[in-house]
Amino acid sequence: MEFQFSVGPLFKHSLCKLNNYLDIESVTSDGGEREVTRTDRRMVNPLSEVINRMGEASAKAQRLNVPITTFEKLQNSDNHHVYLIVDRDFKNGKGAVVGLLKVGHKNLFIIDEAGAQNEVSPLCILDFYVHESRQRLGFGKHIFDFMLQEEKVKPAHLAIDKPSEKLLHFLRKHYGLAHVIPQANNFVVFQGFFTNRPDAV
């Protein structure tokens, strides 16, 4: 996704992690360099435009009436992270934002394979979107792997909020997540969810 402004000054490297304080931690695609930028007043408007427009595009792709990811929601949540993948070289350095992934911990009751309810606080995949022009080119895998590394979480320990068919295919292909444990809520978890969980109560 292109913007009227250049995205380079906002995102120093291609893989970025944002928190509710609007700190932007950016890492090179090979993980070799890392930089933390504190968003100053001049950067707030362009950053909010990036988050809001990517959130709207994600909602449209998922046929949702209301975006799951907005700049305001990010600022008001103390345990959510928004990850972005950026093409800084696009159009002679003007740059483009390619993908967005929002994660956060939620307190949930999750049914195990024996049918018992368990109270857990897993990291949840809340919103995931790669721009239509870049889908099926590996950008989704790149940003997802970056998130797993930053959050220090195993794919099987995640809970997925209402995954789309595309996301279910993605999880099966890249992480071997195929065997769903049926739930009474909208979250999807896979076999392995309860194995060696760090947050088991």
The count of C-alpha atoms lying within 13 angstroms of the C-alpha of 15, restricted to the half-sphere facing its C-beta, is: 20
User: Site map for ligand ACO, 104-143, x if CB under 6 A?
Assistant: ---------------------x-xxxx----xxxxxxx--
Cβ-based nearer residue to ligand ACO, 61 or 180: 61
Residues 1 to 30 in contact with ligand ACO, rule: CB under 6 A: none
Does 67 sit near ligand ACO (CB under 6 A)?
Answer: no
Q: Which residues contact 93 (CB under 8 A, 6 or more apart)?
A: 6, 8
Work out the angle at residue 23's Cα, subtended by the Cα atoms of residues 143 and 141, and round it to the nearest 5 degrees: 0
- Name which position in 23, 169, 185, 198 contacts ligand ACO (CB under 6 A): 169
Does 71 sit near ligand ACO (CB under 6 A)?
Answer: no
Does 173 sit near ligand ACO (CB under 6 A)?
Answer: yes
Does 170 sit near ligand ACO (CB under 6 A)?
Answer: yes
Cβ-based nearer residue to ligand ACO, 133 or 196: 133
DSSP the chain: ---SS-STTT-SSSEEEE-TT-EEEEE-TTS--EEEEE--HHHHHHHHHHHHHHHHHHHHHTT-SS-S--HHHHHT-SSEEEEEEEETTHHHHT-EEEEEEEEEE--EEEE-TTS-EEEE--EEEEEEEE-GGGTTTTHHHHHHHHHHHHHT--GGG-EEES--HHHHHHHHHHH----EE--SSSEEEETTTTTT-TT--
- Of the ranges 34-42, 46-54, 164-172, 189-197, which one interacts with ligand ACO (CB under 6 A)? 164-172
Residue 16: CB minimum distance to ligand ACO, A = 16
Cβ-based nearer residue to ligand ACO, 122 or 140: 140
- Name which position in 8, 166, 180, 191 contacts ligand ACO (CB under 6 A): 166
Does 154 sit near ligand ACO (CB under 6 A)?
Answer: no
Binding site for ligand ACO (CB under 6 A): 61-62, 125, 127-130, 135-141, 160-164, 166-167, 169-170, 173
